[in-house]
Structure 1
Amino acid sequence: MDKILRSISYIFNPLLIPILGVIFYFYITPRFIPEDIVKAKLVSLFILTVILPILLYFLLKTLGKVKSIHLETTKERIIPLILNCFVIIIVLQRIIMISQIIELYFFFVGILISNMACLMLAVFKFKASIHMISISGLFVFFTILSIHFSININNTLALVVIIIGAVATSRLHVHAHTYKELIMGVFVGVIPQLILVSYWL
């Protein structure tokens, strides 16, 4: 059980959540989007939101700015969060533009706001759970998509709720966060997505 709970934090790593949201969007959207465009955007997003942050992490570790991938202190979180904000801005300007896919554009705007909020909390010495921020934001995005496209994805939503519970349990098990940090993470992930709903729903 210990290994399972520890592995959950790696399986549902925050780096993977944005691209999972994009994959799910392309899977359920009733709109016609050429396959070549979908593949190009997915590859570009994977490079920018997964590969690039990993490379930046190793650079920061080499420079002594972070000690481990877990970013255990609020001080260690500040530079990675700043860099991640810039990565998301690049995504919004070059890959997911409002004129092309408005739903994904505001999904990433929500991610950017959540990152900025998490950064501000880190500056004030509060370590909100990035795992909970990402997975709870994804749940809200999925829920809104089901309303937007008038489709039934109750099974998917139920699965994501189970995953949220599993991630929270995992973070508590490895003593990475307190209950307050997990709850704050949920709020930071959920509220930006809810606020932005009126712009595209």
Structure 2
Amino acid sequence: MNFILKSISYVFHPLIMPLLGVLFYFSKTPRFIPEPVQYAKVFSTVLLTIILPLLVYFLLKTIKKVDSIYLKSTEERKLPLVINAFIISLVISKIFPADEIIELYFFFIGVLISTILCFIFTLLKTKASIHMLAASGFFMFAVLLSLHFKINVNGTIAMMAFLLGAIATSRLYLKAHTYPELLYGLLIGIIPQLFLFRFWL
């Protein structure tokens, strides 16, 4: 059980959630988007939302600005969150501008807002679960996308609901977060996506 719960935190790390949102969109959209365009968008997303943050993390760890990839204290979260907000801004302006794929544009706007809110929490000396933030943001995007395109993704939604519970259990078991911190992360992830839905409905 210990191995399984630890593995959940690693496998469903926040860094992969934006990529899952992009892959989910391309797998479900009824719109015609040429495959080379899809591959280019996915590749660029991997570079900016996974590879670049990992390189930044190792740099910050080398100069002793962070202790672990889980960013356990509010103080060590501040700089990575600012850098991540900048990276997400690049994704929005360079990969998914508003005049190309409107759904993914607002998905990443929501991710940016969630990141900024999480940073504000650190200024208040309060932690919000970044794992829950990222997973719940993707979960809400999947739900809203199914409503937008009028498609049945009940299986995906049920699986994501289960994974949200598993991630919360994992973070509690590892004593990485308290119940309020998980709730903060859940709300910070869901609310921006829900609020922005009206702009791309």
Shorter chain as denominator, the TM-score bin is over 0.9
Q: Match of 2:68?
A: 68
So what's the TM-score if we normalise by structure 1? 0.99
Work out the CA distance in 1 between the residues paired with 2:143 and 2:193.
Answer: 11
2:192 alignment partner, SS class: helix
Work out the CA distance in 1 between the residues paired with 2:156 and 2:68.
Answer: 33
Work out the CA distance in 2 between the residues paired with 1:90 and 1:21.
Answer: 17
2:68 alignment partner, SS class: coil
So what's the TM-score if we normalise by structure 2? 0.99
Q: Match of 1:128?
A: 128
Report deviation, 1:124. Answer: 1.0
Structural RMSD (CA): 0.5
- Structure 2 stretches of 5 or more lacking a match? none
Report deviation, 1:200. Answer: 0.2
Q: Match of 1:38?
A: 38
Aligned partner letter, 2:112? L
Work out the CA distance in 2 between the residues paired with 1:107 and 1:143.
Answer: 12
> Structure 1 residue runs of 4+, over 6 Å off?
none
- Structure 1 stretches of 5 or more lacking a match? none
Work out the CA distance in 2 between the residues paired with 1:157 and 1:187.
Answer: 17
**In the alignment, is residue 58 of structure 1 matched against residue 58 of structure 2?**
yes
The percentage of counterpart residues that share the same residue type is 54
Q: Match of 2:140?
A: 140
Aligned partner letter, 1:33? I
Q: Match of 1:164?
A: 164
Report deviation, 1:123. Answer: 1.2
Q: How many pairs align?
A: 201
Aligned partner letter, 1:116? I
Q: Match of 2:116?
A: 116
Q: Deviations over 1:113-166 (max 9, x none)?
A: 000000000111101000000111111100110010010110110000000000
Report deviation, 1:70. Answer: 1.2
